[in-house]
Structure 1
Amino acid sequence: MSAVAANPPLLGTAREWAIDLTVGVGIGVLLGLMGPFGSFFNANPPLRLAYWIGTIASGMVFFGIVTRLAAAAARRLGVPDWATTPPVVLIGSAIQGMPWRPVAISLWPQIDHAVPPLAWYGQCLAITTPIVLAYYFIRVRPQAHAPAREGLVPVEAPAPAADPGAVLYLRMEDHYVRIRTEHGSRLEMGPLARVTAGLGGVEGLQTHRSWWVARRAITGVERDGRNLRLRLIDGETAPVSRASVAKLRAAGWLAEENIA
């Protein structure tokens, strides 16, 4: 019996959305009571509360979806996912915020003259920025950089030794080891040493404290200043720690003619 992590849903779980919308409603109530950007002086407090709850709750849904999708697209393109936050804020503020302007004007006509469109956009940016940053750091970044603990389910799965010849490399991810084979990848409980012990007679070496690579998976060696990385057949590159250089060189993995 081993624990494998199922990939978390791209758009989040029902539990996450329940929490996010509850927080959004709470923020909307707080803003409705505070009345930022001069909205405190608008008549009819219950209507003001309803307006702020609606804008913040809809913003949580919109930016929760857009932030996740933008980060996922960035990772597929090899771009850092954090680089998507500025365009999401700038473009999303217009897409999500501008339709609320005619709603606000219909409720409080004086807004049309008191708050010109550019000032309205600035207010949208002020509200949107913390929402997007919160989504990135609380929802997107943890999902991208660590296995989801809630996705762990016990299943009957063969140990790595059951098909050692198919293993290409092992990589530590948080407290788990990702086993990359010819047929895909899965997660096993770590530590790395325990998982590598189950590989039997597979020719391979630990190249870094968090990487083990089968020799058959290597297509070349790259040099980046004083650092070396192994090019792998699936397009990944494995780091080589300085402590491992001598070991790999002695094994014939780092012949000078193979280093690009």
Structure 2
Amino acid sequence: MTERLKQFVRPAAVLVGLAALFTWFGVYDVSSHPVLRFVMWLVTMSVGGLSAIWIIPAVFEWRFAQQNFIVRVALAAALIALPVTASLIAFFLVLGARVSLGALPMQYLYVYAVCAVMVTGGVIVSRAQAAAPLLKAAEAQDVVARFMQQLPVKYRSANLWAVSSEDHYLRVHTSLGEELILMRLADAIADLGGTDGLQTHRSWWVAKDGVADTRREGGKLLLVLQSGKAAPVSRTYASAVKQAGLG
């Protein structure tokens, strides 16, 4: 499944799930056929979702970006509630229900309350998802920094490009040069777990940022490091290297 399709399927599944829940609990109406109620909620929530696509960025990122979070939630919910309320009223009329003008304000307030909860939850989840890659990157930097503490001081601020094993030693390839330390490759790979790199050979681990180019010699893939040195890719790790976008 492509990433573009996933971006469509996930919110669609949420809308269907919410429509099913509202239908099951008989919100507003329990007398009409369940299928009709489900269609009503699906359409209504779709209207709200489509409205939110335009309204939430406009409120939170463009015109009211400097306003208090609660103010922005209240404003976005108020705007989204307008088309949602209109779609609900339209369905009530289609079902033959009588809608009095005096009941419209209370109907709008009910919809507004639901929209406020959903906008708050949606914004919080979106921010958490946006922060996740940054948090992961920060954690990876911490892992690399701890690993680099094993090198002489002059190398500790360098960018880590790769590590390769030489007998009982480990050659650490960095932007400031190379250095040997007494360590097994397996232990180094364990220490570097969670960083943006991968094992390419039984004796090599390479950071993705350390790769400048690729080439082939005798049908074998080589990853050319920023230093110009080439890291071999064995058949065992060829698939992982390709999935990482380096093959």
TM-score norm. by structure 2 comes to 0.49
Greater relative contact order (Cα < 8 A, sep 6+) = 1
TM-score norm. by structure 1 comes to 0.47
